[in-house]
Chain A
C-alpha cells in the first residue's frame, strides 16, 4: 500500500512535467505536439551520454537535455510550424506536420542512439524505508527535482512578463498582439519551454526506468491521456491528469501482470470521455 503511494507520487511528479509541457504548446500554438514523447526520449539520451557515458555530473546531463530539446522545439516551431500555420487554415496540416516531426525524431534517434535499451548508474545509491515502503534515493531525487521544476514553471507563467504574455496569447491572440506581444518570439519560447520540460522529464526518469530509441510514441500517448483526463489546455487539468495517470500506473503495476494496466487505463479513459468529453477541467487555458 505504502509502496503504491510512493511510486505513484514519483510517477505523478514526473508526468506533471510531461503534461505541463504539452499543455503549454497546445495552448500557445494551438497544436497537439505528437513529438512530445520523442523529446522526452532525446532528453533521456542526453543524460545517458553526458552522465552515464562521459561521467560528467548528473546536473550537467539535465542542463544539456533541457537545452538540446529546447533548441529542437524552437527550431521546429520556427521552421516547420510557424510557416505552415501562417499559410494554411486547415488544422489537419499542422497535425500531420506534428506527426512528421515525431517520425523524424524517431528515425534520427534510432540511427544516432541505436536500438539497445540504455540505463545509467544511480546518482545517489541507497534506499530509504518509510512505513513499510521502499523509496530509493534515486526516486526521491526524481520526485524532488520534478516538483521543483513544476514549481518554477508555474511561477514563471504566473509572475513573469514573458509568462504573462504567453497566457495572454493563449487567451486572445489579437488582443495580445494589440498589447505589443511579439507572437513569433513568444510562440518559439513557448514551444522551447514545453519541449525542454519533456526533455527534463526524460532526463530524470532515465535514471529509474532506462531508455530506448523507440520509447517516444508510448510517452506521447501518455501525454495525450493526461491532457484528455484533465482537459486540454488547462494547467490545473494537466497536473490532475498527471496525478491520475501516475497513480493508475502504480496501482496497476503492483496488482496486475505486465501490459494489462494500460489496457485497463484505455478502457477507463474511453468510458470517462463518453461521460465527460471535455475532461475534468476542460475550458481554455489560464
Chain B
C-alpha cells in the first residue's frame, strides 16, 4: 500500500472530527471519500498532509510513518494536496503560483520543463500566465491549483472537493483531468467529493464517512449499487 491509515483520530478542542477511521490507497490507485458535510473528510486529508496533528492512529506513506511530520517534510516525500475552496495565492501571477508548487525542488531544468509541459496541457493558464490568480474564473482557479500541486511531482495527490461550485461542463473537465492524472501520469489519487456520482465513477475504491467513522467501503462500482449509498448519497430510490 502506498498510503495506509489505521484508526485515525482527529480532534479539535472538544470536537471529534475523525474517529478511528482506517483506509488505504494502493500504488496507482484512486480512492474516493464521500460523506455529508462535517463527516470528517477534510480533516482526514489535513491529517495526511500534516496540517493537523492526529490525536491517535497511524499514517504510513510508502512504508514510512508520516503522522509526526510537518507539511514540508510530507510534501517532500511526494504527497501534494489541493485544499478545499481553490486556495490560489490571489495576488500572485499564474506563473508564480505554479512555481510555488515547485518550492521544495531544486532541479531547475526539470522544473522549467514541467512548467512548459503543464502550460501545454492547460492552454487557458498559458494564456493568462502573467495575470493575477485572484482574477481567474472558478474553473481556471481549480485548474491552477491542480497544476500547482502537480509541479511538486507528487506520487500521491489529495483533492478536496475539486468540483464544488463549478458548472456541470467544468465538472466534466475536472473529472477527465483527475482520471488522466491517475491513469496517464500514474499519480495515486485520494478524492474527496460531495459529488458522489462523479467520485464513484472515477475511483476504483471508495469509503463512506459518517460522523468521523468509515461506515462503508468497497469497490466503487459496488458502492454505486448499494441501497444505502444510493438513497443517501446519490439521491435515488426511496420512492
Chain A contacts to B: CB under 8 angstroms: 161, 164-165, 167-168, 171-172, 174-182, 284-286
Interface centre among B80, B90, B100, B148 (most CB of A within 10 A): B100
The residue on B at minimum CB distance from A175 is B87
Task: Give B96-109 as 1s and 0s: 1 = Cβ < 8 Å from A's Cβ atoms.
Answer: 10011101100000
Chain A interface, DSSP helix/strand/loop, else mixed: helix
What is the 8 Å Cβ interface bit string for chain B, positions 112-142, against chain A (1 contact, 0 not)? 0000000000000000000010000000000
Those 9 A-B pairs whose CB atoms lie nearest each other, nearest first: A286-B91, A180-B104, A175-B87, A180-B75, A180-B72, A177-B71, A171-B89, A179-B103, A179-B100
Q: Tell me, in angstroms, the Cα distance from A176 to B104 when the chains sit together.
A: 11
Q: Point out the residues of chain A lying under 8 angstroms from B71, CB to CB.
A: 177-178, 180
User: Can you give 8 A-B contacts (C-beta < 8 A)?
Assistant: A161-B103, A165-B100, A178-B71, A178-B75, A179-B101, A180-B72, A181-B72, A181-B100
CA distance A284 to B51 in the complex (A): 23
Q: Cβ of A178: which chain B residues have Cβ within 8 Å of it?
A: 49, 51, 71, 75, 80-81, 83
Please give the residue numbers on chain B whose beta carbons come within 8 Å of chain A beta carbons, in ascending order. Answer: 49, 51, 70-72, 75-76, 80-81, 83, 87-92, 96, 99-101, 103-104, 132, 148, 152
A172 near B87 with CB under 8 A, answer yes
Residues of B within 8 A of A161 (CB): 103
Whether the Cβ atoms of A180 and B152 lie closer than 8 Å is yes
Residues of chain A with a CB closer than 8 A to B89's CB: 167-168, 171-172, 175-176
Give the docked Cα–Cα distance between A181 and B61 (Å): 20
Alpha-carbon distance A161/B101, docked complex (angstroms) = 11
- Chain B: minimal CB distance from A86 (Å): 13
Q: How far is the CB of A84 from chain B (nearest CB, A)?
A: 19
- Closest chain B residue to A177 by CB distance? B71
* Interchain CB contact (< 8 A) of B100 among A164, A174, A182, A285: A164
Distance from A123 Cβ to chain B, minimum over Cβ atoms (Å): 39
Alpha-carbon separation in the docked complex, A172 to B49 (Å): 16
Closest to B102 in A: A179
User: Which of A164, A179, A284, A285 has the most B CB atoms < 10 Å from its CB?
Assistant: A179
Chain A residue at smallest Cβ distance from B151? A179
Flag if B75 contacts A179 (CB, 8 Å): yes
Interchain nearest-CB distance for B155 vs A (Å): 15
**B72 cross-chain contacts in A, Cβ below 8 A:** 177, 180-182
**A172 contacts across to B, CB distance below 8 A:** 87-90
A171 touches B91 (CB 8 A): yes
Q: B230 to chain A: closest CB distance in Å? A: 34
Q: Are the CB atoms of A164 and B96 closer together than 8 Å?
A: yes
B141 CB to closest chain A CB, in angstroms?
Answer: 12
- In the complex, A161 Cα to B102 Cα: how many Å? 10
A167 and B103 contact, CB distance less than 8 A:
no
The residues of A that contact B76 with a CB separation of less than 8 Å are 180
CA distance A206 to B90 in the complex (A): 40
Residues on B with C-beta less than 8 A from A285 are: 91
